[in-house]
DNA sequence: AGGGGTACCTGCGGGC
DNA sequence: TGCCCGCAGGTACCCC
């Protein structure tokens, strides 16, 4: 699922839901998806929920944190009054066969970490460990993701521009959906060598990256496939209704009616309009 | 250093 | 129906 807009949506909602709660119990159903000692969570108070790149950071009162990466198919579903919700059909069955960790709070509410493919993880971490992550500026931050910075990193690479957008050490938060969408909105072919972009194209690309990420946050993320991203109440986001090219191979371009093509770049599905992205 | 390929997992849909 | 293949929103690791 989750790229910056999806993770940010989850962060906002978790921050609202969890702040001030105390952890009463933790059930680790799949040990490979929990790194560190889950018992260290018990009794801890949640002071806030932050995000760094595609990671969610749950801050704890003792100064440590629970870091979470959802990778491709991770979900965080939060439920208070679970029995009522199940009876009314407001949420799907919980826990389900993909539930890997359950965190119970002092008010009887629960956080379910579901992950079909088991790539995601929860990890006990301290501040020092978080700072060692090699991550570029946040892709939606107009100040730190500056035009000057963007121009510099693009000029230093001959790789396809799409691969630079996906490189978290250079820019943090963009994934396959929004890399494809931003390149369409900027009218740039994904395979263009990064250092071949003109200053005007670089400025446009930066603008549409920030724009599309903010739009997707407003739409509470993209929920294209069944087993992937959900908001913390289990509902889908709606940005899948606004996609221009991602997942639309063989369909007509919404701007010019030419058929959207799919190729592979860096082993990943890459979608573009041959006419709008010459 | 940089680029390509593979691995981690599970499920689904399409073609034969 | 069954089997095999390719595909999936991410990243780490290996090798040249």
- Is strand C in 7 Å reach of the CB of A9? no
- Is strand B in 7 Å reach of the CB of A116? yes
State the pLDDT at residue A206: 98
Smallest CA–C1' distance to C6, residue: A269
State the pLDDT at residue A59: 98
Q: CA-to-CA distance for A241 and A222, rounded, in angstroms?
A: 8
Smallest CA–C1' distance to B3, residue: A159
Phi-psi region of A221 (alpha: psi -120 to 50; beta: other; left: phi over 0): left
Q: Which of residues 162-221 of A touch strand B (CB under 7 A)?
A: none
Q: CA A120 – C1' B10 distance (Å)?
A: 13
pTM for the model stands at 0.97
Q: CA A234 – C1' C16 distance (Å)?
A: 46
Using alpha carbons, list the distances in angstroms from residue A93 to A22, A82, A108, A114, A201: 24, 10, 17, 12, 48
Instruction: Give the mean pLDDT per block of 10 residues along chain A (278 residues).
Output: 93 98 98 97 98 97 97 96 90 94 98 97 90 89 97 95 96 96 97 96 98 98 88 96 96 96 94 96
State the pLDDT at residue A1: 57
- The pair phi, psi for residue A130, each rounded to 5°, is -65, -35
- Is strand B in 7 Å reach of the CB of A143? no
Smallest CA–C1' distance to B9, residue: A117
A13 Cβ contact partners less than 8 Å away, ≥ 6 residues apart: A78, A231, A232, A233
Q: Which residues of A are catalytic?
A: 2-3, 54, 268
Smallest CA–C1' distance to B6, residue: A267
State the pLDDT at residue A134: 87
Task: State the DSSP H helix or E strand holding residue A123, giving kind and residue range, or none if neither.
Answer: strand A121-125
State the pLDDT at residue A132: 72
State the pLDDT at residue A45: 98
- Is strand C in 7 Å reach of the CB of A242? no
State the pLDDT at residue A91: 87
């Amino acid at each position: 699922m989750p790229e910056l807009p999806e993770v940010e949506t989850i962060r906002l909602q978790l921050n609202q839901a969890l702040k001030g709660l105390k952890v009463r119990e933790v059930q680790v159903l799949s040990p490979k998806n929990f790194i560190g000692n889950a018992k260290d969570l018990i009794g801890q108070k949640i002071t806030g929920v932050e995000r760094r790149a595609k990671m969610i950071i749950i801050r704890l009162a003792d100064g440590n944190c629970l870091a979470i990466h959802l990778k491709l198919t991770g979900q965080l579903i939060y439920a208070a009054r679970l029995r009522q919700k199940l009876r009314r059909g407001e949420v799907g069955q919980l826990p389900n066969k993909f539930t890997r960790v359950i965190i119970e709070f002092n008010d009887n509410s629960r956080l379910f970490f579901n992950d079909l493919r088991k790539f995601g993880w929860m990890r006990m971490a301290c501040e020092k460990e978080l700072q060692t992550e090699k991550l570029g500026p946040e892709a939606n931050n107009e100040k730190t993701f500056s035009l000057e910075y963007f121009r510099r990193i693009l000029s230093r690479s001959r790789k396809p521009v799409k691969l630079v957008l996906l490189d978290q050490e250079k820019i943090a938060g963009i994934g396959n959906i929004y890399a494809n969408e931003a390149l369409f909105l900027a009218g740039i072919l994904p395979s263009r060598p990064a250092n071949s972009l003109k200053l005007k194209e670089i400025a446009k690309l930066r603008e549409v990256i920030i724009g599309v990420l903010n739009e997707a946050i407003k739409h509470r993320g993209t929920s294209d496939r069944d087993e992937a991203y959900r908001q913390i109440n289990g509902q889908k986001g709606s940005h899948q209704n606004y996609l221009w090219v991602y997942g639309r191979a063989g369909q007509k371009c919404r701007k010019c009616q030419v058929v959207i093509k799919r190729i592979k770049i860096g082993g990943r599905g890459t979608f573009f309009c041959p006419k709008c992205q010459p």
